[in-house]
Amino acid sequence: MISIRNLSYRYNKKAPLVLDNISLEIGRGEFVALVGQNGAGKTTLLKQLNGLLKPSSGSVTINGLDTATVKTSELACHIGFLFQNPDHQIFCGTVYDEIRFGLVNTRRQQELIDGRIRRIAGLLGLEGMLDRNPFTLSKGERQRVALASVLALETEILVLDEPTTGQDYKECVEIMEIVKSLNQQGKTIIMVSHDMEVVVDYCERTIVLHNGRVLEDDDTGIVLRKTESLGMAGLEPPQIIQLAQRFGPLFQDVISPEDMARAIISCAVPGGVRA
């Protein structure tokens, strides 16, 4: 579905490489986290996916379309993109128009549009705000408006650049649950996040970027136990994994509180192995 081959990128001829020989395959229905320090190239890599930036060498293909030759506004039917700052995306007078905007751009049928807007607004808890001006809403609400306007396009691939920033814990969980349900419906999700707890809870696969290279690329459970690589990229595994690592090899598969409880019980019950 997404195929990146030997992708290198620099902003101009004299600048250093921001992305250095990256090769990745992302299949349909995957839920991928992209993590790394600020400046590691995460956002640059995301912008390569929908053609906002074109490869300096190598290639990126989305559903068989080469991003080097297809315009971003055409790729928009295949790949939805949520930016870090919602204010870059929002410009209509009402929330309703904002969600509608992308649908009109991609020439969807008029009759379908209204129903879809209301459904998506309901999904994100925006139904009471459809007539409000987006700029009078709070940062968290604006983030959800921006997300709604991306979801409205119903693309097969969703690219989210830190979707949970500026949200409180409850809003963060709500957004991630929506993203998870979209993933269960078969959508491919690629998400940048600094929040390792979110990554471990939701993403199946984790890619660690460091200085424009792929440092690790595997199941989230496996990647998050590689303390050394994570440390190199300035990251720490979630606390539950750090705790499990201190308990020794019997706890090596623990990545969630449930796993932890199970592991402790199996050690504590009579007949169980003592740690």
Partner 1 sequence: MKQMLEYVHGNSLIHRLNPLTKLIFAVVTCVACFIGSNHLFLLGILLFTIIIAGASGILGRAAGVYKALFILGLFLMLFQLLFTPQGRILFYILPGVPVTDIGLGFSSLLMLRMMAALAPLSLMLMLTPMNELLTAMTHNLKVPYRYAFAVVTALRFIPAFSREMDQIMQAQRSRGHETDTRNPIKKIRVIIPMCIPLLISSVRKVETMAISLETRGFCTGPRSCRKKLGFTLFDILAIILVMAALPVSIIIG
Q: Which of 209, 217, 269, 259 is nearest to 238 (CA)?
A: 259
Three-state secondary structure call for residue 247: helix
Shortest Å distance, C-beta 79 to partner 1: 8
Residues between 118 and 137 that touch partner 1 (CB under 8 A): 135
- Cβ at position 150, least distance to partner 1 in Å: 6
Phi/psi at 190 (5° precision):
-125, 125
Size of the site for partner 1 (CB under 8 A): 26
- Residue 153 touches partner 1, criterion: CB under 8 A: yes
Structural tokens at position 275:
């740690």
Outline where 72-219 has alpha helix (H).
72-75, 95-105, 110-123, 139-151, 169-184, 196-202
Give residues with Cβ within 8 angstroms of 64, minimum separation 6. none
90 binds partner 1 (CB under 8 A): yes
- Assess 165 for contact with partner 1 (CB under 8 A): no
- Residue from the set 59, 72, 165, 256 that interacts with partner 1 by CB under 8 A: 72
Residue selected from 81, 96, 202, 251 as contacting partner 1 according to rule CB under 8 A: 81
How many other C-beta atoms can be found within 10 angstroms of the C-beta atom of residue 224? 28
Given candidates 6, 23, 73, 266, which one binds partner 1 under the rule CB under 8 A?
73
Q: In whole angstroms, what is the distance from residue 198 CA to residue 164 CA? A: 9
Alpha helices in 185-212 (DSSP H): 196-202
36, 41, 55, 102: residue in contact with partner 1 (rule CB under 8 A): 102
Is position 106 an interface residue for partner 1 (rule: CB under 8 A)?
yes
What are the residues whose beta carbons fall under 8 Å from the beta carbon of 101, sequence distance 6 or more? 92, 149
Q: How far apart are CA 161 and CA 184, in angstroms?
A: 20
Least CB distance from residue 190 to partner 1, whole Å? Answer: 13
Give the DSSP H/E element, type plus range, for residue 246: helix 239-247
> Which range in 17-25, 47-55, 188-196, 205-213 contacts partner 1 by CB under 8 A?
47-55
Q: Which of 4, 19, 77, 157 binds partner 1 (CB under 8 A)?
A: 77
- Per CB under 8 A, the list member of 7, 33, 48, 50 interacting with partner 1 is 50
| Nearest CB to partner 1, comparing residues 73 and 239 | 73
Least CB distance to partner 1 at residue 239 (A) = 34
Task: Identify which of residues 104 and 243 has a Cβ nearer to partner 1 in the complex.
Answer: 104
What's the CA gap between 4 and 15, in Å, rounded? 22
76 is an interface residue for partner 1 by CB under 8 A: yes
Q: Which residues bind partner 1 (CB under 8 A)?
A: 47, 50, 52, 71-73, 76-77, 79-81, 83, 85, 87-91, 101-102, 105-106, 135, 149-150, 153
